[in-house]
Amino acid sequence: MHFTAVDVIRAKRDGAALTDAQIDWVVDAYTHGRVAEEQMAALAMAILLRGMERREIARWTAAMIDSGEQMDLSAVPRPTVDKHSTGGVGDKITLPLAPLVAACGAAVPQLSGRGLGHTGGTLDKLESIPGWRARLSTAEYLAQLESVGAVVCAANDTLAPADRKLYALRDVTGTVESIPLIASSIMSKKLAEGASALVLDVKVGTGAFMKTEAQARELAETMVAIGTDRGVKTVALLTAMNTPLGYAVGHAVEVEESVAVLAGGGPADVIELTIALAREMVAAAGLDVDPAEVLASGKAMDVWRAMISAQGGDPSAPLPTAPVTEVVRAEQAGVVTRLDAFAVGVAAWRLGAGRARKEDAVSASAGILLHRREGDTVAAGDPILELRTEDADRIPAALDALSGGLVVGPAGTAVQTGPLVLGRIGG
């Protein structure tokens, strides 16, 4: 069937639901350059303003998946399950989670991305491990999935190319914040990965993409519906992201904290979220195993070491450390009433942990260590944050980002720290 881009744009502009044929045509024509960037920009804006029905979102996602190759995991002898996080500050959960779930008996095939903006990317964190490489051939990827049970590596260019093009366009046309477009963007990449089950960690709060629980719930429900309609068991947890996860924000420092969790230690919130997501993944994979017991057994650490070594990394090598540190101390005694995730994320980014453009390199050793967290008491002069960077000139801008994000209130001030897991959708 033949359409014109203008007819499709007008239909959505006037509030109509697009037909399956219109969606298939416009996504394919855009991917191959037959629909111009300005036409897709107008359509994206019409979608942002008018929304999409469940059927349209499912079809749009399918069309983006069909724009590229899909991984075939049918030969993997274990149940396959992946997780996706919408991104948060100090969100290193994939690092302990993937080997843990593999140690529970599932296969975790994670094609991952790099950080852009104030949240860090999993590949950037893993690249702080000497020798570790993100790029694998499909044959290497499948072999590792079979031998180790977990792979975290870079998605190649053939995975949902329509989304890559459209996401870049949305970024510069004020059309990122559309729930149908966000949900289809995330799910097209995840579903093209070919796992049989998917667990979504949808973050809510100042350090997250979704600032309110209502928005996060709507995004989670939309993504769960897309996965379910495609026959993939999909569950979402809504989790808090008003303050960083754990005590480390950056790349090498987050790897260290993740290894501490695998070794049986680590911060309580990182352990809690790792176990909560692992329970969902293991259940979605149809396994009857308790991830907390598996973590305590040390088997997840064995898988971690195998997973890192298989990708050329040395799991025993010292991680890079930053030559410059700056300690932020409490000016007076009291209680840390606010340690804002967004402020800490931006500060870490300015220290060199983040990138402004996708081609930029990141500093593996830059980041922030939290000596205190929200609710902790401090004496005057106590260290609260430790800023780490390769370049002392970056310190003032990082301190600037923290202003207002770190507040020490009077001693005895009660600090509300709500639950980490706020809700569950699907299943």
Q: Does 186 bind ligand URA (CB under 6 A)?
A: yes
Q: Does 112 bind ligand URA (CB under 6 A)?
A: no
What is the total count of residues that contact ligand URA (CB under 6 A)?
6
Q: Are strands 383-389 and 367-370 parallel, antiparallel or unpaired?
A: antiparallel
Are residues 384 and 328 in contact, defined by beta-carbon separation less than 8 angstroms?
yes
Taking the complex as a whole, the smallest distance from the CB of residue 317 to ligand URA amounts, in Å, to 31
Q: Which residues pair with 204 in a beta bridge?
A: 210, 240
| 238/380 Cα distance (integer angstroms) | 36
- Quick one: which segment of 100-108, 181-189, 309-317, 365-373 binds ligand URA (CB under 6 A)? 181-189
| 246/244 Cα distance (integer angstroms) | 6
Q: Does 224 bind ligand URA (CB under 6 A)?
A: no
- Quick one: which segment of 124-132, 176-184, 287-295, 299-307 binds ligand URA (CB under 6 A)? 176-184
Q: Does 216 bind ligand URA (CB under 6 A)?
A: no
- Quick one: which segment of 175-183, 226-234, 338-346, 403-411 binds ligand URA (CB under 6 A)? 175-183
DSSP-derived secondary structure letter, 350: I
| 367/107 Cα distance (integer angstroms) | 31
Are residues 336 and 378 in contact, defined by beta-carbon separation less than 8 angstroms?
yes
- Quick one: which segment of 115-123, 180-188, 304-312, 342-350 binds ligand URA (CB under 6 A)? 180-188
Q: Does 60 bind ligand URA (CB under 6 A)?
A: no
Q: Does 67 bind ligand URA (CB under 6 A)?
A: no
CA dihedral 342, 345, 350, 356 (to 10 degrees): -90
Site string for ligand URA, 142-171 (x = CB under 6 A): -------------------------x----
Taking the complex as a whole, the smallest distance from the CB of residue 216 to ligand URA amounts, in Å, to 13
| 329/413 Cα distance (integer angstroms) | 19
Taking the complex as a whole, the smallest distance from the CB of residue 405 to ligand URA amounts, in Å, to 23
Q: Are strands 324-329 and 377-378 parallel, antiparallel or unpaired?
A: unpaired
Q: Considering only CA atoms, which of 2, 87, 8, 88 is closest in space to residue 47?
A: 8
DSSP-derived secondary structure letter, 344: H
What residues are labeled active site? Answer: 84, 163, 170, 185, 189
Q: Does 351 bind ligand URA (CB under 6 A)?
A: no
Which residues of this chain interact with ligand URA, rule CB under 6 A?
Answer: 167, 176, 181-182, 185-186
